[in-house]
Structure 1
Amino acid sequence: MNKKVVSLCQLAFRAGKVSYGSRLIPSIQTRQAKLVCLSPFCGKNRTKKLHDKCAFYHIPCLTLADWDAISKKSIQSFAILDEGFAQAILEEMKG
C-alpha cells in the first residue's frame, strides 16, 4: 500500500477525525463518515454489514492492506470523518 495513505490515516487518527468501535455504525447512518476503512482481517459478518451500510448511504469503503502501520490499537475498522482526509486517501488509492 502507498505510504502516503498510511500517513494520511495516521494523521486523521492524531487529529481525532476518526470514528471506530460502537460509534462507527452511527457515524455512517448520520452521514458523518466520509470514508470507511477495513482491515483485511475483519470478520466476514462485520465486513458484509459495513459494505452494505456504506452502499446504502453512498459512502466509499476500502480494505487497506498495511493495517499494522496505521493503527496500533486493536480495531478492525474505522471511518474518516473529515472530507479533506477522505478525498486525499481516495485520490492516492486511485493513483
Structure 2
Amino acid sequence: MAKSNDQQVLSLLGLARRARQLVSGEAIVLKNIQTNQAKFVFLAKDAGKATSKKFTDKCHTYHVPCSQEFTKSQLSQATGQSRTVIGVVQPGFARKFEELLRME
C-alpha cells in the first residue's frame, strides 16, 4: 500500500473520531459487531494472538470487513486514544475505508 493511502486512512480515522462515528475498546467493539452496528473494524497488526483470533473470527461470522494494516501506535496516534481495536459505525466512513484500503 502506498504511503499516501496510509496517511489518508489514518487522517480519515481521526476525522471519524471527531465526528463521533467510532467505537473503541474490545468489549464495546465486540458488542457492536454482534449487533451489526459496526460496519468496519480496525484491528492492530501487533495485537495479541487471542485478541486477533477473537476479532477476525467475529468479523468473519458477522460479515464485517476487518483491516489489520496498522499497528497499535498508528491507530492510537490517529485517534488520540490508546486502542488495539476500533469499530466504524457510520456506513459512509466504512465504504471510504474499504475503497482506500483496496487501492494499492
Establish whether TM, by shorter chain, passes 0.5: yes
Q: In the alignment, does 2:98 pair up with 1:90?
A: yes
Q: Name which of 10, 17, 23 aligns with 1:13.
A: 17
Q: Which residue does the alignment assign to 1:30?
A: 35
- Gaps in structure 2 of 5+ consecutive residues: none
Q: CA deviation at 1:89?
A: 0.8
Deviations 1:17-70 (A, max 9, x none): 111112111100000000000112211100100000000000000013243542
CA distance in 2, matches of 1:17, 1:68: 16
Matches within 5 A, 1:48-87: 48-65=53-70, 66-87=74-95
Count how many residue pairs are aligned between Structure 1 and Structure 2. 95
Distance (Å, rounded) in 1 between the aligned partners of 2:18 and 2:89: 13
In the TM superposition, what is the alpha-carbon distance from 1:77 to its structure 2 partner? Answer: 0.6
Q: Is 1:45 paired with 2:50?
A: yes
Residues 1-23 of structure 1 deviation map (CA, whole Å, 9 limit, x = unaligned)? 52111111111111111111121
Partners of 2:58 and 2:77 lie apart in 1 by 26
Which sections of structure 1, spanning at least 5 residues, go unmatched? none
Q: Which runs of structure 1 show a deviation greater than 6 angstroms over 4 or more consecutive aligned residues?
A: none
Among all aligned residue pairs of Structure 1 and Structure 2, give the percentage whose two residues are the same amino acid: 35
CA distance, structure 2, for counterparts of residue 70 and residue 59 of structure 1:
21
Taking the aligned partners of 2:77 and 2:95, their CA distance within structure 1 comes to 20
TM-score, normalization by structure 1: 0.91
Q: CA deviation at 1:72?
A: 2.9
Distance in 1 separating the partners of 2:66 and 2:87:
9
Q: CA deviation at 1:71?
A: 2.7
CA distance in 2, matches of 1:55, 1:31: 12
Normalised by the length of structure 2, the TM-score is 0.84
- Residue 64 of structure 2 aligns to a residue whose secondary structure is coil
